[in-house]
Amino acid sequence: MRRLVSGVVVLALVAGGAFAWIRLFAQGPVGPLPGGHLRGEVAAPPPSWDFASRQPYLLVESEAWTLPYSVSVWFQVHEGRLTILLPSFFGDGLKRRLDDDPRLRVAMDGKVYERTAVEVTDPETVGAMLAPVIRRQFAIEIEGEARPVGKMAELWAYRLDDPS
């Protein structure tokens, strides 16, 4: 019994140490765990974000609370701007941070861009943003009129503008 308790304590310490390392020193998220600071050359925003569509996910960092919080999120280039889509099943941590401080850092191709997240609430605009993401992420084409089928998960959309 004593060895079992010692083993559990050692395992908890190793897991806690690994989590602390990821949150403090990892350059971005590690798997499903949020990471720390995104590293790279801070750059001016490009004239067009179309090059970003090559990536399956976007790395974003928020420093709203004590520790930096970086995660991979679904995104879309919509009307020439980066937009992020946060489904409630994995985006609520970032959503709470954006509610407190909308400033973000976005990492792409070794460069980091400063952005400000502005929530998009118009259902027509969110629908126009969501269709290409569903096509890209799941290879599903959406046509015709959208009809609600029940509330499965919330979805928050943010347009990433230049910092003010």
Q: In this model, does residue 101 exceed pLDDT 80? A: yes
For the segment 141-157, what is each residue's pLDDT rounded down to a tens digit? 666 555 555 556 688 89
pLDDT for res 150: 53
Among candidate residues 140, 132, 135, 139, the one with its CA nearest the CA of residue 157: 132
The mean pLDDT of 37-65, rounded to a whole number, is 88
For the segment 8-45, what is each residue's pLDDT rounded down to a tens digit? 888 888 877 776 666 666 667 766 677 788 888 999 99
The mean pLDDT of 47-52, rounded to a whole number, is 87
Domains of the chain, start order: 2-161 (2.30.110.10)
Q: Looking at per-residue confidence, does 133 or 53 come out higher? A: 53
pLDDT for res 113: 95
pLDDT for res 43: 93
- Could you give the CA distance from residue 5 to residue 2 in angstroms, rounded to a whole number? 5
For the segment 112-127, what is each residue's pLDDT rounded down to a tens digit? 999 999 999 888 888 7
78, 102 contact by CB (below 8 A): no
For the segment 73-92, what is each residue's pLDDT rounded down to a tens digit? 888 888 888 999 888 877 78
Alpha helices in 26-119 (DSSP H): 88-100
pLDDT for res 105: 94
pLDDT for res 12: 86
- Could you give the CA distance from residue 150 to residue 130 in angstroms, rounded to a whole number? 17
